[in-house]
Structure 1
C-alpha cells in the first residue's frame, strides 16, 4: 500500500532505519512498505545527506524565462494606479514609456499570479463595429444612469464621445437632465472643441419628448447651430455602443472605486479621470492608441450669436406664437410641434396637389393636407440604422 497520509514522514523514517540495518533486504522492505525501489533509495539518499525525509519544494532553483522583478513591479504599479485596466492596456503603457514591455500574455500572468485579475464573466465581446471616418462627423451623447451621492443628492453624468476617436469631449456631473442644463454644458464644449456635424442620441429627455413628439426646444437650438440630430431605434441601446461602452468604463474606473460626497467632488474626479481616459489610457478599439491620438478640434467654431433660419422672399412664411403651437394658412389654423413656438416656419407645396410641407430652414417638421382637412401631421427626424458598437 502507498504511504499513509497521516504519518508519512514517520513511515519514511522507519523505512530508512530498517533499510540501513546490516544485512537488510531493501527491495523486500520496499515491497512491504508499498513503495517503488527507486523511491526507497531516494529516501535513503536524502537521509544520508541531511537526515531529512520531509517533502521538498518542487519549485525549480532558477527560472530563466521568469520576468525581471523590476518589470513585474512596474506592471503591478500601473495596475494599482488603474485597477480596471487589463493586460493589453498595461503592456501598451509600458511600451509607450520606453520600457522593455513583456508580451500581453506575460503581463496577464503577472496580474493573475498577484491576484489582480479573475476570470471574466459573460460571453464573447462584440465584434461588429461602426465608425465614422473622421472626427466631429458624429458625437454620441447620453446621460449615464444617475448615481446617489454622499449628501443624498443625485448625480446625472452627462457624456459626449466622438464617434471616430472615442475622445471624451464632455463629462459633467449634473443635478438634473433638463434641456437647459445640457445646453449650458454644451455651450462650453462647443466653444472649446467647435461644432460637430451631428449628434447621435436616444429618445429620452431632453432630446426626446415624453409626450411622443420628437422635436424639442433643445433640438431646435441644435438645428440653428447647423447640427443634425439622429435618434437611435427605440429599445436598441446597443446601436449607441461607444457611449454605452464609455459608461461601463466610467463605472469601473471611477464609481466602482469610491463614493463621492457631492457634485463638486464628483466633478473634480471626472476632470482628473477624463485626462487619463483621453491621453493615457490605451483603447483596444484604437489598436491600443489613446483617443487623443485620433482627435482634432472641429473647424466649425461656435458662433457668438445664435443664427436664425433664412427664407427666400417669395416663400410663404408664418410665425408661430410663443404660447400656441399653430400657424394660419388658407383661412385655417394648423397645429405644429410645440418646440417651434416663437419660431418662423416656411410652407412649401408638396408634389401632391393640396399637400404642403412645413419647414424649419431645410428641415421638414410637419405636413398640411388640404384635401382631407387634417391638421398638420408629425414628421419625425431620421432614425438611425447604424450597426452596433
Structure 2
C-alpha cells in the first residue's frame, strides 16, 4: 500500500460512519488507502469515546537534554553543508567539539532538529511507494474484456487510422475491432470518449455485457494523469454494472492478451494489404474477426488448435443482454451514486476559494484559503460535502457534470424498438 498523509478528522469520522452502516474495516481501509490496523484503531476510539493519547514524549524542545553547544553547532554545520546527512554532521560534531559516540544525538533526532530549525537546508525527498498489485485473475469467458488501441495504421493517401480492439482473454475471442480515421493537420489524434463508447455499444449488442473491462491508463479512460476522481468512462461502466479494471502504469504485460491480439489481427488484416478508405478496412476487420472466432485453429485459452467458439460454444453471449435503444433504461444511477459515496477525496482550497473535483471548480468561500479539505459525495442530494480537517462543514454544493445524460453522452430517443427485448434479470455473474 502506498504511504499517505495522516488521516484528517473528517476521514476519522468517515471510518466511524461507514462502520456503523455495515462496511467492514478492510473495505474502509481500501477506500481511504490506509492500513486495516489504522481503520480499526480510529473506529475503536470513536466508538468508545476515547481521546487518543498524544504521540511521543511531552514536548520539551528538540535535543533539549543535550548541551546548547551541540544543538547550535549541529545547525551551523547543516547550514554550511546542506547536502550532508546526520551521519556526516555527527562526524563533524566529534571533530569540532571532541565528543564521544555516546555524547552525540541520534540520526533521527538530528533530522527532526534540521527540519524544525533550518528547513531550507534539508533536501526534499519523495516518499517511496510500494509496488501496485497486478490485476486479479480471470477464470471464465466474459468475466473480463481487455481493450486497447492499435494506432497509426496507414490507409488511403497519407491518412492514418486507429483500431480499437477488444478481446476476451479467457475465451480467446476477438470481441470487437473498430477503425477510426485519426488524421489531423499536425499528424494524428487519440480516440475520444464517444468513439470508445460507440465501439463498446456494438460489442455489448453482439456479445452481451461483461462483468469487467480492463484498460491501460490512457487519458480517455482516466480523465487526466494522476487524477484520483473516477473518469466519465469509469462511471459509465459502473452504471451498466461493469467493473473498470486498470493495468499497472507502464506494464503492458498486465494485458498481454490484447497486445498479442494487435499482432495477430495485423498479420491477418492490414500488414499485407492497403486500404483506400476506412470502410474497406472495417469490412476486412469484421471478416478476419469472424474467421478467427469460428474457423481458425487457435492455441490460446486452452483451445488446443480449435476455433475459440468451438471450444467455448456458451461464450457466444454473456447472458447479460444490451440494446443501444434501451441504454437509458438499463443504466442505473443508483450504482453510480453508491460508487461515488464509497470514496473520499482530499483537496486543497485555492487562493480564490475554489476546489477542483472531477474537472469542475466548486467555490467554497474564502474562509479556508490554502487549507486542505475532505470531499464526500452525498447520494441523497447528489452533492459534494466539503469538510475542514476538524470535521467542520465548509460547504455542500450540487455535483456538476454527473447527471445521467453526462455519463451516457446522449438523451433517449422516443421511438419503439424494432424487435422484442428481454430486460436482464437482477443476477450477478454470467
> What TM-score do you get using the length of structure 1 for normalisation?
0.49
Name the structure where helix makes up a greater proportion of residues.
2
Greater Rg by CA? 1
